[in-house]
Amino acid sequence: MATCLIVDDSRVVRQIARKILEDLKFTCTEAEDGKKAQEACSKAMPDAVLLDWNMPVMNGIEFLRELRKMPGGDKPKVLFCTTEADLNHIKEALSAGANEYIMKPFDSDIIQTKFSQVGLIG
Amino acid sequence: MRVEDFDLFAKFVYQRSGLVLTKEKAYLLDSRLMPVARRWNFKDLGELANALRSKSDEALLADITDAMTTNESSFFRDQKPFDQFRQVVLPRFLQARAATRRLRIWSAACSNGQEPYSLAMILDEEASKMPGWTIEIVATDLCREVLEKAKQGLYTQFEVQRGLPITMLVKHFTQIGDKWQISKQMQGKIKFQQFNLLEPMTALGQFDIVFCRNVLIYFDPATKAKVLEGIGRQMPPDGILYLGGAETVLGVTQAFKPMDGQRGLYVHGSAASTSAAVPGVTPAATAVR
Ligand SMILES: C[S@@+](CC[C@H](N)C(=O)[O-])C[C@H]1O[C@@H](n2cnc3c(N)ncnc32)[C@H](O)[C@@H]1O
């Protein structure tokens, strides 16, 4: 079963995302900021990271840059999931190594197609 | 709504577009025709029905039909048909049309344009394999309103997230306020045109590949057969037809049969076995991602 780390400072968003991803048969873990996400990844690399941008302590893009430098950190598919909905943010995310980009608000349909586009759902 | 008004609307819409409105769909008629009634300053559907009886205004008739169409669509809808397009259909025609280097594609119920634009974006990615080729995409729909939107290529944030890979959004779209518009270059690759599938198709010319997806589901069996047979006459012997996931030719017409090993794709009923048609491409190699 594929694993997904959900990184968002909003507990509600994490809960909604978790429900959708568990329905898609992912095993989920959560982190509330980039720092906690980094710690989680150093213990066990997930198959996917659903990543918010704006968070306290360490934001999403900083986390992504750190992740891609970690051993095995090139492996997880990273899907941004953020209210930042302009081309500049999207381009910055892609050049930092993001695989997909979801603009909030999202629904289960969007999550499902994005996860299948990065090859995590058959 | 009065029964005779329902019957009037249902019969009119059926004759004009083939769309079947059953009694259970009465609520749909209500919610969709009220805005039309308001736009034309009728106080209720009874008045609208009277106006329809007088058959006075062609614009009103078109508005009523347009309102009853269901225009749901998305980029790369169901994904797999578009993978097949890239991996199976296109390579096949690259060989079969190597001499003429011409390819004509028809999106026969294009709605807001996501279907033909998805094809145009794939063709753009594959362009290096087709130097000097002339590829024409004709996209048609009955509904004028969706055609206008398709021509503009302007989509909401929600629409560009359903099915469209982010790299394609970055490559082909610009942001306008909270909407996204597809590039002039992609717009220029498609010829949008109003067309009713119930009308004679000869003037449209021949098409190597036809997408007729998610429209036959709204028709009755006789209309399905008529439309499919019409499309068949617009396709060369080796043409390929796409239907939607819930649609089939089986039990509807002999004009087409399923293409071996390619779900959702159809070839002429009289065509020879299709599996060996692409030398060097084994079923395993064409397996879809
Ligand atoms: C659900 S959409 C399908 C869009 C797209 N092909 C897809 O698969 O996503 C159905 C479209 O068929 C169009 N349609 C309905 N009756 C038609 C007719 N008689 N001739 C042409 N188009 C028709 C509607 O206007 C609508 O845009």
Hey, where are the domains in chain A?
Answer: 3-117
| CA distance linking residue B228 with residue B232, whole number of Å | 6
Using the Cβ of A83 and the Cβ atoms of chain B, whether some distance falls under 8 Å is answered with: no
Q: What is the pLDDT of residue B274?
A: 52
pLDDT tens, position by position, B44-95:
999 999 999 997 789 999 999 999 999 999 999 999 999 999 999 999 999 9
Q: Is the pLDDT of residue B277 over 60?
A: no
Cβ–Cβ of A109/B175 closer than 8 Å?
A: no
Among B61, B69, B193, B226, residue to substitute to test ligand 1 (most atoms within 8 Å of Cβ): B69
Mean pLDDT to the nearest integer, B153-175: 96
Q: Residue B24 above 70 pLDDT?
A: yes
Residue B2's pLDDT is: 87
Rounded mean pLDDT of B274-289? 44
Burial B168-178 (b: 16+ CB within 10 A, else e): bbeebbebeee
> CB of B196 closer than 6 A to ligand 1?
yes
CB contact under 8 A, A101 and B174: no
User: Which residue is associated with the tokens 């980039």?
Assistant: A34
From A103-117, B215-229, B275-289, the region with the lowest mean pLDDT: B275-289
Residue-wise pLDDT for B5-21, tens only, equals 999 999 999 999 999 99
- pTM here? 0.92
pLDDT tens digits for A59-71?
999 999 999 999 9
Q: Which residue has the higher pLDDT, B233 or B278?
A: B233
CATH number of A3-117: 3.40.50.2300
A113 vs B contacts (CB less than 8 Å) = 79, 161-163
pLDDT at residue B199 greater than cutoff 70: yes
Say if A117 is an interface residue toward chain B (CB within 8 Å).
yes
Q: How far is the CA of B22 from the centre of ligand 1 (A)?
A: 18
Subunit contact A87:B174, Cβ cutoff 8 A:
yes
Average pLDDT over residues A25-39: 97
Q: Tell me what pLDDT residue B289 has.
A: 42
A95–chain B Cβ distance below 8 A for any pair: no
At residue B273, the pLDDT reads 60
pLDDT band of A122, cuts 50, 70, 90: confident
* Average pLDDT along chain B: 93
Share of chain B above pLDDT 70, in %: 94
Per-residue pLDDT for B151 more than 80?
yes
Q: Which domains does chain B have, with CATH numbers?
A: 3-68 (1.10.155.10), 80-286 (3.40.50.150)
CA distance linking residue A39 with residue A30, whole number of Å: 11
Q: What's the CA dihedral at B222, B225, B226, B227 to 10 degrees?
A: 120
Query: pLDDT confidence of B162, banded at 50, 70, 90?
Result: very high
pLDDT surpassing 80 at residue A95: yes
